[in-house]
Amino acid sequence: LSESGVPQLVQPMIWDYAADLDVESKVLLIEKYRRCGFSKVWFASAFKGATGVNQSLTLIRHHLKNHLQWLQVASSTPADLLQGIALTGWQRYDHFSVLCELFPVAIPSLAVCLQALENGGYSEKVKEDVEKLLGMSNLEIDTFMR
């Protein structure tokens, strides 16, 4: 791979939407990419649409856990190697499927995930900031939003 010249042309994106992604294996994968000559890598997470083909409400805790795991991967990766993270929001699982988790119901999840990434984790202050930003009195991350 390193002899092909590909590492000078592209930046790999590592996708994983699991709430319990294997941090150690991701770190090892990133190291393999580095040894092949890739100077930058991207991560890809999801703030909605990755928990079931007919899911209609967003499981905020699932997506928050995924982002917290990516933060662990990032903290174990050389800072100059990480280019960024793409927060995906899947609308459907394939072109023949019905829509899942429409964007409006996922806005709290997007806000929580973005704030967790920006603040390096999730805390009561992050929760309060999201509630204030969204004009909500009680953000529920462990149950479906009402």
Contact 30, 13 (CB under 8 A): no
| pLDDT tens sequence across 75-104 | 999 999 999 999 999 888 888 888 888 899
Residue 144 confidence (pLDDT): 61
Write down the residue that tokens 């899947």 correspond to: 90
| Percent of the chain scoring above 70 in pLDDT | 98
Task: For residues 55 and 49, give the distance between their C-alpha atoms in angstroms, rounded to a whole number.
Answer: 7
Q: Is the pTM of this model over 0.95?
A: no
Q: Which of 113, 100, 112, 118 is nearest to 136 (CA)?
A: 112
Residue 92 confidence (pLDDT): 83
Residue 31 confidence (pLDDT): 96
Type and span of the H or E element at 28: helix 23-35
Please spell the DSSP secondary structure of 89-135, one letter per residue: E-S-SSTTSPP-S-HHHHHHHHHHHHHHHHHTS--HHHHHHHHHHHT
Whether residue 73 is predicted with pLDDT greater than 80 in this model: the reply is: yes
